[in-house]
Amino acid sequence: MTKPVLFDYYRSSASYRVRIALHLKGVAFERVRVDLVTGAQKSDDYRARNPQGFVPLLEAEGLRLTQSLAIIDFLDARYPEPRLVPADPGERAHVLAMALTIACDIHPLNNLRVLKYLVGPLGQDDAAKTEWIARWIREGFAALEAMAAPRAGAFLFGDAPGLADICLVPQMYNARRFDVPVDDFPTLLRADEAARAHPAFAAAHPDAG
């Protein structure tokens, strides 16, 4: 079987999530760098693959898959072990809610295109950008801490990494990159530490090559 091909950018949170999932599933894959800083994602060639002009894009089994959580859902169905989302409906809803808190409510407000618009057309300075980033990360993390704490184990849900942790680790990486204080979130810190010690998460790290 031909290896899946992941079109990604090393520091993209959404791409980071998919790399983690692929490594957790033990799926060998090839990577194609799409440089977001130079605007390679907007090229006609790339938009022919993904009309949104976003990363990640996974080409697998004759399919072109976009949106990180949709790609991970495909991987969870295609490679059932280890399971990333619980089978129990209530547990599944809980894990999805935590993952979506990050992927839909925190991350989009701090991604590159939003920050570029903030300092470009809207004319905000670096101090305003830093305040913007910290505001939305800390507000989202406060909610996530309250959601996770009652049912967390070593990870955000139980003692094995899952979808919520896949979303958490890249967002914690971003928080540290922008010097956002995270000491108020002990459950998130514990889960992040456990996840980053896992070989699959380490292999997916932006600095791993």
What predicted TM-score, i.e. pTM, was given to this entire model? 0.96
Instruction: For residues 75 and 93, state if they share a domain.
Output: no
* pLDDT reading at 85 higher than 80: yes
Q: What percent of the chain has pLDDT over 90?
A: 97
Contact 186, 195 (CB under 8 A): no
| Residues 151 and 112 both lie in one domain | yes
Please give the pLDDT value at position 1.
Answer: 66
Same domain? 75 vs 138: no
Statement: residue 68 has pLDDT above 90 = yes
195 and 119, same domain (yes or no)? yes
106 plus 130 within the same structural domain = yes
Determine contact, residues 75/23, Cβ cutoff 8 Å. Answer: no
Cα 143 to its chain centre, rounded Å, is: 18
Dihedral sign for Cα 103, 108, 110, 111, please.
positive
Assign residue 184 the CATH number of its domain. 1.20.1050.10
Residues 69 and 25 placed together within one structural domain of the fold? yes
Max Cα distance, the chain (Å):
50
- pLDDT tens digits for range 108-146: 999 888 999 999 999 999 999 999 999 999 999 999 999
Based on the domain organization, do 59 and 102 belong to the same domain?
A: no
Task: Say how many domains are in the chain.
Answer: 2
Of 13, 47, 82, at which residue does a domain stop? 82
Please say whether the beta carbons of 168 and 156 come within 8 A: yes
**Averaged pLDDT for residues 82-94:** 97
163 or 37: which leads in pLDDT = 163
Q: Rounded distance, CA 114 to CA 21, Å?
A: 26
Whether residue 163 is contained in a domain is answered as: yes
Asked if the structure places residue 167 within a domain, the reply is yes
Torsion of CA 132, 19, 10, 96, to 10 degrees: -10
Question: What residue numbers bound the domain in which 51 lies?
Answer: 5-82
pLDDT of residue 118: 95
Those residues with Cβ within 8 angstroms of residue 26's Cβ, 6 or more apart along the chain or in another chain:
79
C-beta neighbour count of 190 within 10 angstroms: 17
pLDDT at 209 over 80: no
Reduce the DSSP state of residue 68 to 3 states and report it.
helix
Checking if the pLDDT of 193 tops 80, the result is: yes
Q: Is 197 found in the same domain as 119?
A: yes
Q: Report pLDDT for 78.
A: 97
Q: CA angle, 29 as apex, 24 and 35 as ends, to 5°?
A: 105
Q: Is the pLDDT of residue 30 over 90?
A: yes
Q: Give the total residue count for the chain.
A: 209
- pLDDT band at residue 87, thresholds of 50, 70 and 90? very high
- Tokens 């004759």 -> residue: 62
pLDDT exceeding 70 applies to what percent of the chain? 100
Q: Which of 50, 82, 114 lies at the terminal end of a domain, its last residue?
A: 82
* pLDDT score at 185: 98
Strand partners, 57: 7, 66
The values of phi and psi at residue 60, to 5°, are -155, 135
Residue at 209 is within a domain: no
Domain stops at, among 15, 48, 82: 82
Mean pLDDT of the chain: 96
Nearest-CA neighbor of 32 among 2, 7, 64, 66?
7
Q: Is residue 199 located within the same domain as residue 113?
A: yes
Sort strands 5-8 and 30-33 into parallel, antiparallel or unpaired: parallel
